[in-house]
Chains A and B, each alone.
Chain A
Amino acid sequence: MLIFALATVAWASGARADPTRTATVAVSTASVAPDGQEPDADVFDAAFADEAAPFDQEARFVEAVEVVGNTKTDRQVILERIQVEVGDLVNEARIEESRLRLLGTGFFKSVEFSLRRGSNRGRVLLVVEVEERNTILVDELYLGYSRVSPFFGGFGLAETNFLGRGVTVGGSFVLGRDRRSLELRAFAPSISGTPLQISGSAILLQGAEVLDEDDLQGQQLTYRRLGGTLGVGFRVGMAQRVSLIYRLESVRADRLPNLDPALLRQAPSIQFDDSVLSSLTARYERDTRDDPFMPTQGNRVALTAEVGTTLIGSTYEFSKYTVELSQAFLLFEEHSLELHFYGGLVQGHTPFFNQFFISDFAYFAWNRDSLPRNAQLNFSESNDYDDLVASAGAIYGVPVLRGKDLLYRMWLYGGLEFTATASLDELQEDPTGRGVGGTIPLSFDLGVKFDTFIGNFTLSLSYMLDLVF
């Protein structure tokens, strides 16, 4: 009983500085009234409360950190994200921050911290109990048909916690008539707990571009790409990072003998025979959205500048600049509205696959015959690659289902996009430019989005309309 009273006094450290309150607290006892209320508990008006001494605790030192439940994830990957170390005072704000950082990795279904008695009073064990989740995710899914390819399909898989080391590795492929692509990638979000990030990717691609939309069986531009990227990134602040990426690709494009000179002039821009694409990209990103799939708050800014020059061995001399902006809003308690803008400019000579393709940005629009590229491959008859793009739009999402085990959530969404592309050369020749997504630059989409245990999926009406019409 005495211990109880003393503990209460110790806890209410504000009382130590206030003799009046000490007297009140000291009479607390362990006896609990039948209704659960303690008649002699410490109750007083807020006006007399010492707010500087709230809910005080005696000093508790972390004697050890124990990690429980990690059958796959390396213990060090977890410890690197914990803001409290052995010997520190228990700091509950830092523990909560650590919990959120661990959940933010996406490796765990749940993360709970708790304390256990240490070797002596005032010493505690900090226990981190994690429940791991599936980290092998489908991150791309391609399925379609077009006039160019009766069927094409493929998918991408990503393991976000490879060998339990917190590294993402992934790959995707797509196959269709005369076209195939394989991409591999890896991303280490933190090197030894530092803000340094490393990424890499590889691509092996064999593609073809239609040269005459009225003669799909006619000659095509065929080409191959083999290469990859290597990047380093630094987290430079809250949800911000800068990256520097080196890209090296060997490109081979087959010559087009006996082609009508008029068609040849309209052919996508590329150096025939063997060439090298070597470039450096600087990128700044700030992403404070709560969810990239259906965000309800936050924004994203991404600025990119890519330079290819003979100084680093490139056959192509060019510079490419892009700006991405988006802002998310929460409407009617659960609805999601995202406004976004994308702008881009290419100066100089770069292969067509590094230019802007309107269907990568626009949804379904009347009188426009193209599909978005899949794994960097074009399966439509359009070869309208351009140097300029401006695209602005909105996506509105309404949650329609909430599940637990397999299907977490489902939304109905609608999207509108104004997109225009243009070629710098043609703009100079023709003030109206070209490539405005058909007769009007407005496109739309309707569909359903699913958040499931193996990934996020979109069922898009615009894609199907693009195929049908």
Chain B
Amino acid sequence: MRTRLGIALVALVVGSGAGVARGQEEPAPLSADLTLQGREVVTRYDVTSAFTEAFRKRLSGGLTSRVLIETLLLGPDGRPMLAQVRTCELRLDVWDDLIYARILDTNRVSRRTYQLIDDALRACGVVETVMGEADALEYRRGYKVQVTVSLNPVSEELLERTREFTSNPRGTTGGRPRAFFGAVARLFRSEEDVRGTTFVFLSGPIARPSAGGEP
């Protein structure tokens, strides 16, 4: 009887391990292309779908919203070959009902003013960026563009500064379970609340662009 109980428990624990695959979130599909501009590789894509309702609500509240867009060009083996970063700062002026946008790419800064939030978001999320020298692309095909969009990311320093004691109300760390089914209080802010929301996009395989348009 006892042995059977033990086996049932092990099965329960192992069975829950089957959920591992479900726990990992797959990147969202991304429609991206690669073209040549002179000797440089340029990628284009649209990640405006990452701008959630909560993000739009915050933006319409008159405080500055920040977006970090990290672009990686992955080789056929999945290794990053080229990288670029864009940051956007967007703020609605509550008196003028205008959205001020500052978009920083690696070698450019643009400041624009919009009347519609959608237009400002499109300026930030529709990206056309130089990834680097075309010579870096040694394979003919199989490239992928991976984009990580972080909405209002919070710095580690600020997180450190605002962290309250995370011990449970008794001031202990929990330690070993006191019972088969033990519990400790949950007191803390959720990861998403604190760090902001992050989305990952991944394109399908793309061929190396060529000047003549042939892969």
Contacts and interface: CB of A to CB of B under 8 A. Distances in A.
B62 interface: yes
A441 interface: no
Q: Is the interface of B mostly helix, strand, loop or mixed?
A: mixed
B179 A141 contact: yes
A372 B165 contact: no
Contacts of B28: none
A461 B13 contact: yes
A409 B111 CA distance: 41
B102 interface: yes
A292 B173 contact: yes
Nearest to B19: A400
B109 A44 contact: yes
A467 interface: yes
Nearest to A112: B58
Contact of B181 (A4, A92, A143, A452): A143
A461 B9 contact: yes
Given A11-B93, A445-B176, A458-B182, A288 B23 contact: no
A259 interface: no
B177 A372 contact: yes
A416 B15 CA distance: 21
Interface string A141-183: 1111000000000011010100000001010000000000000
A463 B180 contact: yes
Interface string B101-115: 010100111111111
Nearest to A54: B102
A138 B183 contact: yes
B160 A239 contact: yes
Given A158-B169, A400-B19, A137 B185 contact: yes
A468 B9 CA distance: 12
Interface stretch (A102-110, A203-211, A262-270, A313-321): A102-110
A81 B209 CA distance: 54
Contact of B108 (A45, A112, A400, A445): A45
A193 to B, nearest CB: 14
A458 B183 CA distance: 6
Interface stretch (B29-37, B76-84, B187-195): B187-195
A300 B166 CA distance: 10
Contacts of B168: 139, 292
Interface residues of B, number: 83
B160 A372 contact: no
B204 interface: no
A402 interface: yes
A115 B63 contact: yes
Contacts of A468: 2, 5-6
A287 B171 CA distance: 10
A38 B112 contact: yes
A455 B186 contact: yes
A458 B180 CA distance: 8
A388 B50 CA distance: 55
B185 A456 contact: yes
Contacts of B98: 4, 7-8, 30
Contacts of A115: 61-63, 94
Interface in B111-163: 111-116, 118-119, 122-123, 126, 154, 158-163
The 8 closest A-B CB pairs, nearest first, are: A114-B61, A115-B62, A139-B185, A103-B189, A460-B177, A100-B162, A106-B187, A400-B19
18 contacts: A11-B113, A41-B112, A46-B107, A49-B109, A105-B164, A113-B61, A189-B165, A239-B163, A290-B163, A292-B167, A292-B184, A300-B173, A417-B176, A445-B177, A452-B186, A457-B182, A462-B177, A463-B182
Given A112-B58, A412-B16, 7 more contacts: A43-B108, A101-B162, A155-B183, A402-B25, A408-B190, A445-B177, A459-B12
Interface of A: 3-4, 7-8, 11-12, 25, 28, 30, 32, 36-38, 41-46, 49, 54-55, 57, 92-93, 95-97, 100-101, 103-106, 110-117, 121, 124, 127, 137-144, 155-156, 158, 160, 168, 170, 185, 187, 189, 199, 238-239, 241, 285, 287-293, 295, 298, 300, 324, 326, 334, 340, 359-363, 372-374, 398-402, 408, 410, 412, 415, 417, 445-448, 451-452, 455-465, 467-469
